[in-house]
Amino acid sequence: MQRKPAKEYTTEQQLPRLGTAPYLKLMERTAASETNQYAAHLGLIMLWLGDNVLDLVDHDLSSFDITESKLDLLLLLSLHDGQELVTPSSIADRLGIRRSSVTSLLIWLEKRNWIIREPYAKDGRMTHVRISPEGSMLLQQVLPTFWSTCASLVEELNKEEQEVFRNVLVKLNKNIENRLGAGR
Amino acid sequence: MQRKPAKEYTTEQQLPRLGTAPYLKLMERTAASETNQYAAHLGLIMLWLGDNVLDLVDHDLSSFDITESKLDLLLLLSLHDGQELVTPSSIADRLGIRRSSVTSLLIWLEKRNWIIREPYAKDGRMTHVRISPEGSMLLQQVLPTFWSTCASLVEELNKEEQEVFRNVLVKLNKNIENRLGAGR
DNA sequence: CCCATATAGTTAGATTATCTAATTACATAC
DNA sequence: GTATGTAATTAGATAATCTAACTATATGGG
């Protein structure tokens, strides 16, 4: 997940950056006739940007030895703490992954004492999962950096651009959450 | 990478969707004073959207037994074909990953006959990597779906929204590519 | 001309994040 | 009270990355 690692040695000949032009040319030749190519271009940049955003956030979090996806889970636990019964199943449902994948995440987090798993008395099949005091402390340490990274992603936009951008983002994200059937 | 897998059985009690409100409340308590919280909110949604976009694209590509990142590499090879000497090193440099990671990708692609690796005569240490006819045929098959998926990401936006969104996206992506030191 | 060092690529072995299938334990309904 | 459903875990796989070590080739200075 680490972009731009230190060079193994010094550098070599590079490939020139192509930019978007050749992608668009290829699109003209290979897109179905009913595809809106202007929209596809936009979607392509969005895909690239999303990729870069994840890389940057994980890079900024790496000094805390946590990834964006694990931070996401800790946040989930923190925000539901004392509200609802959180179980591996409900986590899996929310994150759109398998229960067994959640088990792996929980084992990892529990090893670091950031969460607590305890049997749920009212139904012996279930496990109650919650964030631990140590986990909450970790959040206190990580979140200032996390929010600052989030802000840095869009800080070069002016107030007006941010306003328009926000409306578009919210709209797109709602739509895609519906398509995927999972969301926050 | 697969979101929303078929349920293992039928469903269980779900966690309520929180929306953004509790995240913003938490941000108020935990952001550094110099962080622009409006921007951070925007960045957070962008991060979520990026995550969802990658999931959706990989989902749409899964029937072709290829992931977005491998398709990206095939596209890279296709667009540079006959132009520049493409080697594992130059690919690694471009993708911002290690040479050894590139070797793994190339082995996987070569096994399927989608690329050709051959020794480079002018420098015996190098390997010339190029897309094979079979690889090009695969692209022909996959790309219509890929472009259509890209388009579907933003198709609900009206013409005007798309116009503004595009300018913002291009700006943000340029900036983040500079920060990461890699880009297309 | 040879050797030291740099570079290209691969291999070995690890980690993270996912999956499916099988297993264990508990709950419930007929 | 047995069959079936559900919750969680385990076992084993794959993908995408990493670092470290290794092999082979290239090159520049004595």
Mean pLDDT score of chain B, rounded to an integer?
A: 92
Chain B closest-CA separation from residue A56 CA (Å): 7
Whether B12 shows a pLDDT value over 90: the answer reads no
Helix extents (H) in chain B = 21-30, 37-61, 68-80, 88-95, 99-111, 133-154, 159-180
Taking only the tens place, the pLDDT of each residue in B94-122 is 999 999 999 999 999 999 999 999 999 99
Q: Are A5 and B95 in contact (CB under 8 A)?
A: no
Average pLDDT over residues A130-142: 97
Beta bridge partners of A115: A131
Average pLDDT over residues A125-135: 97
In single-letter form, the type of residue at position B68 comes to E
pLDDT band at A182 (very low <50, low <70, confident <90, very high): confident
pLDDT of residue B180: 82
**What value does the CA radius of gyration of chain A take, rounded to a whole number of Å?**
21
Dihedrals phi, psi of B131, to nearest 5 degrees: -75, 145
Say if the Cβ atoms of B47 and A150 lie within 8 Å.
Answer: yes
**How many Å separate Cα B146 from the centre of its chain?**
12
User: Would you call A177 exposed, middle or buried from its count of C-beta atoms within 10 A (0-12, 13-18, 19+)?
Assistant: middle
Q: Are A78 and A87 in contact (CB under 8 A)?
A: no
Task: Give me A15's structure tokens.
Answer: 């490939």
Instruction: Measure CB to CB from residue A170 to each of B40, B45, B59 and give the nearest one.
Output: B45
Contact of A16 with chain B, judged by CB distance below 8 Å, is answered with yes
pLDDT of residue B2: 39
Percent helix, percent strand, percent coil in chain A, to nearest 5:
65, 5, 30
Q: Which residues of A touch B46 (CB under 8 A)?
A: 49-50, 53, 150, 153-154, 169
Contact of B27 with chain A, judged by CB distance below 8 Å, is answered with yes
Element counts in chain A: helices (H) and strands (E): 7, 2
Task: Determine the CATH number of domain A83-131.
Answer: 1.10.10.10
Q: Are A89 and A127 in contact (CB under 8 A)?
A: no
Instruction: Measure CB to CB from residue A12 to each of B13, B19, B90 and give the nearest one.
Output: B90
Tell me if residue B128 falls in helix, strand or coil: strand
Q: Which of A183, A73, A169, A69 is closest to B46 using CA atoms? A: A169
Mean pLDDT score of chain A, rounded to an integer?
A: 92
Q: Which of A45, A15, A3 is closest to B168 using CA atoms? A: A45
Taking only the tens place, the pLDDT of each residue in A46-104 is 999 999 999 999 999 999 999 999 999 999 999 999 999 999 999 999 999 999 999 99
C-alpha to C-alpha distance for A125 and A107, rounded to whole angstroms = 18
Whether A166 shows a pLDDT value over 50: the answer reads yes
Task: Give me A21's structure tokens.
Answer: 């032009």
Q: Are A131 and B19 in contact (CB under 8 A)?
A: no
pLDDT of residue A12: 53
Q: Which residues of B touch A68 (CB under 8 A)?
A: 47
Q: Which fold has domain B68-139?
A: Arc Repressor Mutant, subunit A (1.10.10)
A residues 108-167 closer than 8 Å to B (CB): 139-140, 143-144, 147-157, 161-162, 164-167
**How many Å separate Cα B68 from the centre of its chain?**
6
Average pLDDT over residues B75-81: 97
- Listed as ranges, the nucleotides of chain D within 7 A of a protein C-beta are 5-12, 15-21, 24-27
DSSP assignment of A85-99, as one string?
A: ---HHHHHHHHTS-H
Q: Which residues of A touch B89 (CB under 8 A)?
A: 12
Instruction: Measure CB to CB from residue B153 to each of A18, A46, A98 and give the nearest one.
Output: A46
Whether A1 shows a pLDDT value over 80: the answer reads no
Task: Give me A101's structure tokens.
Answer: 């994948």
Q: Which of A161, A26, A95, A166 is closest to B150 using CA atoms? A: A26
Residues 6+ apart with CB under 8 A from A165: A154, A157, B42, B164, B165, B168
